[in-house]
């Protein structure tokens, strides 16, 4: 009897831990079903991923994807009506919003990396930003080796400064590095022929080109210097919720719905000014659509 009591007492913490784990796994879905509300964290000005339109409504490529995920939640939970609440976040508040349970999904332009995965989880990436350069179309510059002895501008305080320095050392390009105070100033140096190239995340470069007076005068070129996989962020240690979201993301990719959303936001005029990024889909995203996976290289 004493042995039996000891076994029961010894196994009780394990049983409680298991119950706790199972409860945690069902947390998000149970909470959504109970409140009949899903909360989406979004950015205010992360064009074209997540931003406000003229009516102060959150719109964008990432938002459209998350609304598809909401449709999947409706079916899974058998809720014909599921309210969507929106929570505006910044780079510093987006992770706490998920960790603290203020939002169920973060739909913006957040990179999935090892440091962040210590606090949150990510679903399958829906975009891959790469560091490239924008040049004048008549410059003759096609790739990094064409920059020898050229003036290259980056924006102060960004990681591309180190990337350029590393490339310069490897290739011996003798670059003349300049810095702009912000992206507009950096791009202005290329426009005014004070610099031959401006290096930054390609999607930002396409956005700057789309909003200039004559986009045809500029091209985005160069092999990627780095890769940033953007993905929807969700709570960590919630396997049931993550499994559902991952399955729906894979379905969107397998059924070609992601391609349609990409064309809508990156290949056609978008609100509020009708700018067209005219940005072809990169090979990394094309490959990820063919073989959907949440695994990324750090």
Per-residue pLDDT of 48-92, as tens digits, reads 999 999 999 999 999 999 999 999 999 999 998 999 999 999 988
User: Which residue is it, tokens 């962040």?
Assistant: 116
User: Which residue is it, tokens 């004048």?
Assistant: 136
Non-local (6+) Cβ contacts of 49 within 8 A are: 43, 60, 61, 62, 63, 107, 108, 109, 127, 230
- DSSP-derived 3-state class of residue 190: helix
Quickly count: other Cβ atoms within 10 Å of residue 57's Cβ: 11
pTM reported for the whole predicted model: 0.80
Let me know: does 81 contact 16? Beta carbons within 8 Å.
no
- DSSP-derived 3-state class of residue 118: helix
For residues 291 and 258, give the distance between their C-alpha atoms in angstroms, rounded to a whole number: 13
Domains along the chain?
A: 2-126+231-290 (3.40.190.10), 131-227 (3.40.190.10)
DSSP string of 76-101, one letter each residue: HHT-S--EEEEEE--TTTHHHHHHTT
pLDDT range class, residue 297, cuts 50, 70, 90: confident
pLDDT range class, residue 46, cuts 50, 70, 90: confident
Residue 257, CA distances (Å) to 61, 82, 221 in order:
12, 22, 28
* β-sheet bridge partners, residue 221: 133
Q: Pick the closest to residue 120 from 27, 4, 24, 237 (CA basis).
A: 237
pLDDT given for residue 106 in this prediction: 98
For residues 209 and 218, give the distance between their C-alpha atoms in angstroms, rounded to a whole number: 7
User: For 92-137, how does the pLDDT look when each residue is reduced to its tens digit (9 = 90+)?
Assistant: 899 999 999 999 999 999 999 999 999 999 999 999 999 999 999 9
User: Which residue is it, tokens 């332009």?
Assistant: 109
Instruction: Please name the helix (run of DSSP H) or strand (run of DSSP E) that holds residue 266, with its range, or none.
Output: helix 257-266
Asked if the model's pLDDT at residue 26 lies above 50, the reply is no
């Amino acid at each position: 009897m004493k042995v039996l009591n000891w076994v029961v007492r010894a196994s009780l913490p394990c049983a409680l831990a298991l119950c706790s784990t199972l409860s945690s796994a069902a947390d998000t879905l149970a909470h959504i079903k109970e409140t009949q509300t899903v909360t989406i964290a979004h950015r205010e000005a992360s064009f074209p991923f997540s931003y406000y339109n003229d009516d102060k409504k959150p719109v964008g490529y990432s938002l459209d994807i998350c609304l598809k995920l909401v449709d999947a939640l409706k079916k899974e939970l058998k809720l014909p009506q599921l309210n969507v609440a929106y929570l505006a976040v910044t780079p510093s508040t987006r992770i706490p919003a998920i960790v603290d349970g203020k939002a169920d999904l973060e739909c913006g332009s957040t990179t999935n990396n090892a440091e962040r995965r210590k606090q949150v989880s990510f679903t399958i990436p829906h975009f891959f930003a790469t560091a490239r350069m924008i040049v004048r179309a008549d410059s003759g510059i096609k790739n990094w080796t064409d920059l020898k002895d050229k003036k290259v501008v980056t924006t102060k305080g960004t990681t591309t400064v180190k990337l350029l320095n590393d490339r310069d050392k490897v290739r011996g390009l003798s670059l003349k590095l300049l810095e702009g105070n912000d992206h507009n100033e950096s791009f202005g140096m290329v426009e005014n022929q004070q610099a031959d190239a401006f290096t930054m995340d390609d999607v930002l470069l396409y956005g700057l080109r789309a909003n200039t007076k004559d986009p045809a005068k500029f091209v985005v070129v160069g092999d990627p210097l780095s890769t940033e996989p953007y993905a929807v962020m969700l709570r960590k240690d919630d396997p049931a919720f993550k499994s559902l979201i991952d399955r729906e993301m894979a379905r969107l990719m397998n059924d070609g719905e992601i391609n349609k959303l990409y064309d809508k936001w990156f290949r056609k005029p978008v609100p509020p000014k009708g700018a067209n990024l005219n940005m072809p889909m990169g090979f990394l995203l094309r490959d990820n659509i063919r073989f959907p996976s949440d695994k990324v290289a750090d």
